[in-house]
Each structure stands twice: as structure tokens, then as C-alpha cells.
Amino acid sequence: MTPVITRVQIRGYRRFQEFTFEPESGANIIVGGNEAGKSTLLEAMTLALTGRVNGVRATECLNPYWFNHTVVHNFFEKSPNERSHRDAPTFRIDVYLDVESGELEKLRGVNNMANADSVGLSVWAHPDPEYTQELDDYFQQEDCPVILPVEYYLVEWLNFGGHPVLRRPKELGISLIDSRTIRSERGVDYYTRQILETRLDPKDRSRVSVDHRKLRAALGREVLSDLNEELAEENQSIPGAVVGLQIDQSRSASWEATLIPDVDGVPLSMAGQGSQAVAKTILAMGRNADTNSLVLIEEPENHLSHTRMRQLISYIKHSAQNRQVFITTHSSYVLNRLGLDQVALLNNGTPARFNTLKKDTIRYFQKLSGFDTLRLILADMIVVVEGPSDEIVFTRFFTDRFGREPLDCGVDVMSINGVSFERCFELATLLGRSLFAIRDNDGHSPEYWEEKLGPYLQEGQRVLSIGNPSLGNTLEPQIESANTNESLRFVFPKTKSPSFADWMQKNKTDAALAIATSEHTLIPPPYIQDVLDLLAKRIGSAS
């Protein structure tokens, strides 16, 4: 059994004032809006597991902005004489692990925020006991800057036994892949080391190192011997040691430093950004899971075409084996393809899980991988309609009512193009989100359709709005019935059909565009008006 993260607990770190995340043992897809904390979560996990941020020890780069803004603000809101090092802001990150008996058991203890007997690692930033007087002097100034003096702070990397950790246990293999940024040659060296450390046996590395030194020594003798003789002759008149040149045999000039990864013969640092993203993932995922049990991937969709992204996601699924994988994403394709049951949605510092979705709903979205599921998940208020024409028409009715387009009011309008309304309502119910659906009655009563969605509907919160069958089966006759012929003639001046509804049904796109661009305003059908009335209560506007 490879190590598995069972819980991540964060207190006071960046945007997380109090946060607990219990990941799945396999794949974990982390989604959320901008500034939700997706990258911060991976950063915090990496910090606790490695003691480093971006390859630099946390003790060397502690930043005052790592501390939660609200906690810091509340502390400095106190009067100067109430501020003390004893209640100064701190942060702590605990990562709990499930491991087989072995070396990692040495990390076991109860020194964690849950006081639980577990294997794990912590990072704790707090006032340094050596500087308590300096801290109090700083905090009690009348004009004290609202920023923590981290020079007087201590960062401790500890195991759950309460003992300091000096280096990451070799049994705890971790790879962090960030395709959002393209590293320099220094970053390339990092990926080279990943390959060498995991693909070459230590004995083989030693043998290669010895052979490399021999070759360098031979090269030095052949190339530099004549030059050194000339230097010796020129310096005969100068007493003291003979000055010459030789090949550097120090560790900084070792054979590893001369190797770089390449992509199709091109150095990784010079390859395209998409190729770099794929190469980084292959380097991390292509290794034995025993030596690389935890893989953290930042936004794998960056710099990739749809086809290349599909290939990469398939590779990740195939190569996961018994690894624990964490992926942050803004891509609905990644979300759907890997499975909604593996999603954790970060919202207001709290993770919501989707593993209670029905299995057929999960499979449904996996097969329909192009559907914009993430848009449905992230929207605070969303109106779903059946097709693009319905979306265009509703947007015009909304703009006429409120003087602004839906997105300007925080309302997302989405055509679901054949996706079951039931699937959308199931997702919205799980998240406790508002969802307003508008659909054709197709000749059935509203009660007929509402009965199918009974468990998910909630008055004023999750609503299915359907037109009266006596006024028409679809949107077009409903519009005709809500407006006079004179109004319709203004919008469709070139229509020669005796029935505006017939013409609109035969020319859905043209009709929708005509309504959207017309200088004349039409009256919405009653079932659309009902949705607009509900939205008016939410967005603080009225007709």
C-alpha cells in the first residue's frame, strides 16, 4: 500500500481561516471560482509534505501574506495595549496519512489539530519565543503597520510525534506539475533530477559518475596539457605554485548537471508550452507508483488543444494505478472525463463533494464530456433553457426588464442542448444552488413535467417553469399569443406567413436574432415572466 492522504486541515493559512478536506484515495478533481483557493490548497499540501514552497524552504521565505487576512485584520483592530505575542496570528497545516507499517510510522503521533493518533506532517508558523519582547514592542506601537513582522516568527516542520523533520521521507514520493507556468533552465534541472532519482539504481548512478570523471580527466589531459606547459614556461620567473588549468571535478560539475530532458529532440525549456505540459505529466506519471504515490497537477488543460487535452487526460487515467492524484481545473472536459464523483468544489472555504450523485448521472456526464458542467456547478444563479434560440430570446426579455444583460446581474443563462433537466436539477440540489429552468410543454401539462422532478424542486429556489398547453406547445406560439400582430409585424417585417408562430418555428435562429436586435420590445410569455419575477427578488430590481 502506498501512502494516502486522508485529511488536510488548515488553520489561518492564506484564504483558509478554518478548513478541512478529506480526499478520495484515488483521483481528486478540485474546482471552484477564481480566488476559491484551489492553488492554495495544493500549495498548502506541498508545504506540509515537503517543507518547501516553489522549491525553497519555508523557513527561508516566510511571507506575511501567508497569514489569513481576516485573522490579521482582526488582530490589528485591537487597541495597541491589547495586542500581544500570545494571541498573534499563526498558521498551521496538518496532512494526515494512511500508511503501511514501515519507516513512515515514525511520523505517527497526536500532535495535530484533531489530537488524533495518526501518521502525518505539519507546518506551523508562530511567534519565535526568542523574540517575544520585540514582538510586543512592535505590536504595541500607536502607529503600528498592519503587517506581521515575520522576522520574529518561527516556522517549524514537524511530524505528528512533535519532532522536527529535516528532509522529506524518501518513502513519501510527491510530484507537483504546474502547467500554468513554464519554468526556466533551473526548473528543467528539477525535472531531470526526478528522472535520474527514480529511473536509475544508485549503483548504476555511481558507476556512471565514476566513468564520467574518468572521461573528464582524460579530456583534460588531452586538451589542456599543452596549454599548461606553456603557462608553466611563462611563469618560471614567478616564485611559488605553478598556475594551470584543469577540468572541474567538483559536484557542481557532475554528469547530472549536463543532462536535460528533451521533447522530440528539442530541449524541454525550448519546446512549446503544450509540449512542456505533456512532458511534465509524463515524467511524473510514468514512474513507479511506489516511488511517486502522490501527484498534484495544476490546470492540465493550459496550453493544450482539445485533442491533445483528451490524450493527456486519457494518459492520466491510464497511468494513475494506485496513486493518489489531485487535479485543479477550469475545464469541464477534465471534470466530466475523470468523473463527477471525484470532484471537490471549493466555495467560501468549504469543500463540497459530488460522490452522492447517482451512478448513471456520473456516467452520463462522462459520455457527454463536451457539456459545460463546470459552468453549471459554479454559477450562483442560473437559468437553463432548451436550446440556443431560447437562450437568445430569454436574454433579450431579461435585458428589456432589468436594463442590463443577465451576466451583469450575476445570472448565468445556459442552453443545455438536449441534456436532461433532471441531471441539472440533481447537481443544483446537491450544491444547494438556485436553478430556474424554462422548457416547452410539448403538449403535456406543467404537472406532468414537474412530477418527474419532484424531489429536486423547491419553491423560489429550484423552479421548473412551463407554458400553458392551451397557448401552444413550444416557445414560438407562446410568444405569438402574448403579443399583438402589430407588435410582431414590427419585429418580423418581412414575414409573409399568415402565422408568425409557424414562421418562427421554421426559422428558429432568424426569429431569435430578429427579437434580440429589434428596436421594438415584445411581451414575454407568462411562464418566462414568472422566472423574471423570481429573479427580480434575487437581484434587487423590479420592473
Predicted confidence pLDDT, tens digits, the chain (543 residues): 689 999 999 999 999 999 999 999 888 989 887 778 899 999 999 999 999 988 889 999 999 999 999 999 999 999 999 999 999 999 999 999 999 888 899 999 999 999 999 999 999 999 999 999 999 999 999 889 999 999 999 999 999 999 999 988 888 888 887 765 544 444 445 556 656 666 667 777 778 878 877 887 787 777 777 787 777 777 666 666 667 777 776 655 566 666 766 777 777 667 776 777 777 777 666 655 566 778 888 887 776 777 777 777 777 777 777 789 898 888 777 777 777 888 888 877 778 887 778 888 888 887 777 677 888 888 888 999 999 999 999 999 999 999 999 999 999 999 987 568 898 899 889 888 899 999 999 999 999 999 989 889 999 999 999 999 999 999 999 999 999 999 999 999 988 878 899 999 999 999 999 999 999 999 999 999 999 999 999 887 434
- Report the pLDDT value the prediction gives residue 352, as an integer from 0 to 100: 81
- Report the pLDDT value the prediction gives residue 137, as an integer from 0 to 100: 95
- Report the pLDDT value the prediction gives residue 42, as an integer from 0 to 100: 93
- The DSSP-derived string for 109-143 is ES-STT---EEEEEEEEEE-GGGHHHHHHHHT-TT
**Distance separating alpha carbons of residues 95 and 475, to the nearest angstrom:** 54
* Cell numbers that stand for 242 in this block: 605553478
**Distance separating alpha carbons of residues 285 and 263, to the nearest angstrom:** 16
**Distance separating alpha carbons of residues 213 and 235, to the nearest angstrom:** 29
CA neighbor of 499 nearest in space, from 470, 471, 476: 476
* Cell numbers that stand for 377 in this block: 456547478
522 burial via Cβ count (<10 Å: 0-12, 13-18, 19+): buried
Q: How far is CA 312 from the centre of its chain?
A: 17
CA neighbor of 44 nearest in space, from 94, 104, 3, 5: 94
**Distance separating alpha carbons of residues 221 and 538, to the nearest angstrom:** 82
Element (H, E) at 104: none
- Report the pLDDT value the prediction gives residue 255, as an integer from 0 to 100: 66
**Distance separating alpha carbons of residues 182 and 59, to the nearest angstrom:** 25
User: Cβ(95)–Cβ(48) under 8 Å?
Assistant: yes
User: Cβ(421)–Cβ(427) under 8 Å?
Assistant: no
pTM for this one? 0.77
**Distance separating alpha carbons of residues 410 and 219, to the nearest angstrom:** 69
- Report the pLDDT value the prediction gives residue 214, as an integer from 0 to 100: 82
User: Cβ(245)–Cβ(228) under 8 Å?
Assistant: yes
Would you tell me the crossing angle of helices 273-285 and 185-199 to the nearest 10 degrees?
A: 30
- What's the maximum distance between 2 C-alpha atoms anywhere in the chain? 115
- Report the pLDDT value the prediction gives residue 186, as an integer from 0 to 100: 42
